[in-house]
Amino acid sequence: MRQLIAGNWKMNGTGASLAELDAIREAKPADADILICPPATLIARAAAKGAVPIGGQDCRAQVSGAFTGDVSAEMLKDAGAVAVIVGHSERRQHHGESDAVVAAKARAAWRAGLLAIICIGETEAERLGGHALDVVTRQIAGSVPDGASPENTTLAYEPVWAIGTGRTPTNAEIVEMHGHIRARLAARFADAAGMRILYGGSVKPANAREILALADVDGALVGGASLKARDFLAIAAASS
Ligand code: 13P
């Protein structure tokens, strides 16, 4: 399976940031897939450049309506996006998104013809309490709708305590969790073996090669290190 190296710019970037996309186009590796998810304000301009595939960071489940400030999957598609992140822990935390809401957003992504990148992952308290696997099991059951396939869905395991902290799980912990996610998917979906499972949380040029070589790690979802083309390309070049 080709690995996917996806960048999540979060709430960072203005028009000047679009130059990073040109730099990525110049040097992107041939043997990995690349995706950049800029803020909603930049999606149309980023996609129009045609430099790299572009995704959204969130969508609302409804097609349209009186939902001030929200963006639908159809709008992202219309702006040129090919994918959308749903259920990122920052959405779950700051916007109170439940597994049911995340599942509805994933279905909205499919309805619009977008790849849904569904994020899951435990908090530090949950890991320290020995509940990481259980939490992720519950999130998969609630957030990944029936009908998921390698074509319409990618999972992203992002332990909340590893996001933006410079801390990562041990290799053994990543392998255990990704194997667990694969098994949970296989219990529900015939083609789970072909479904990508990305790792996210403090992926940097310095640790990318090691993480991307681990079993059942099919790519990375990169936050801070995706903002500069040089770092993002170094991570992409480390894909296996
Ligand atoms: P960092 O790479 O900055 O830790 O963020 C990870 C993330 O949340 C990507 O969605």
Given 20, 74, 88, 126, the catalytic residue: 88
* Beta carbons of 100 and 86 less than 8 angstroms apart: no
pLDDT recorded at residue 46:
98
Residue 159 Cβ inside 6 Å of ligand 1? The answer reads no
Say if 238 falls within a structural domain. Answer: no
Residue from 181, 228, 225 nearest 203 by CA? 225
* Tokens matching residue 77: 């598609």
Residue from 69, 65, 138, 153 nearest 105 by CA? 153
Residue showing tokens 């219990």: 187
Number of domains in the chain: 1
**The domain containing residue 211 runs over which residues?**
3-221
> Which atom of ligand 1 sits closest to the CA of residue 166?
4
* Beta carbons of 160 and 124 less than 8 angstroms apart: yes
* Tokens matching residue 48: 């129009």
Residue from 147, 79, 139 nearest 107 by CA? 147
Say if 228 falls within a structural domain. Answer: no
Residue 202 Cβ inside 6 Å of ligand 1? The answer reads yes
Three-point CA angle 218, 99, 53, nearest 5°: 40
Known catalytic residue at 158: yes
> pLDDT tens string for the chain (240 positions)?
999 999 999 999 999 999 999 999 999 999 999 999 999 999 999 999 999 999 999 999 999 999 999 999 999 999 999 999 999 999 999 999 999 999 999 999 999 999 999 999 999 999 999 999 999 999 999 999 999 999 999 999 999 999 999 999 999 999 999 999 999 999 999 999 999 999 999 999 999 999 999 999 999 999 999 999 999 999 999 997
> Which atom of ligand 1 sits closest to the CA of residue 226?
2
Say if 91 falls within a structural domain. Answer: yes
Separation of alpha carbons 67 and 159, rounded Å? 30
Count Cβ neighbours within 10 Å for each residue of 17-43 and write b for 16 or more, e otherwise: bbebbeebeeebeeebbbbbbbbbebb
User: In this structure, which residue's CA is closest to atom 2 in ligand 1?
Assistant: 223
3-state helix, strand, coil in the chain (%, to 5): 45, 15, 35
Residue 166 Cβ inside 6 Å of ligand 1? The answer reads no
Residue 148 Cβ inside 6 Å of ligand 1? The answer reads no
pLDDT recorded at residue 240:
73
d(CA 50, ligand 1 centre) in Å: 24
Say if 229 falls within a structural domain. Answer: no
Residue 201 Cβ inside 6 Å of ligand 1? The answer reads yes
The domain that holds 117 is classified in CATH as 3.20.20.70
Q: Which helix (H) or strand (E) holds 219?
A: strand 219-222
Residue from 94, 14, 79, 29 nearest 233 by CA? 29
Say if 111 falls within a structural domain. Answer: yes
Say if 196 falls within a structural domain. Answer: yes
Say if 232 falls within a structural domain. Answer: no
CA end-to-end span of the chain: 10
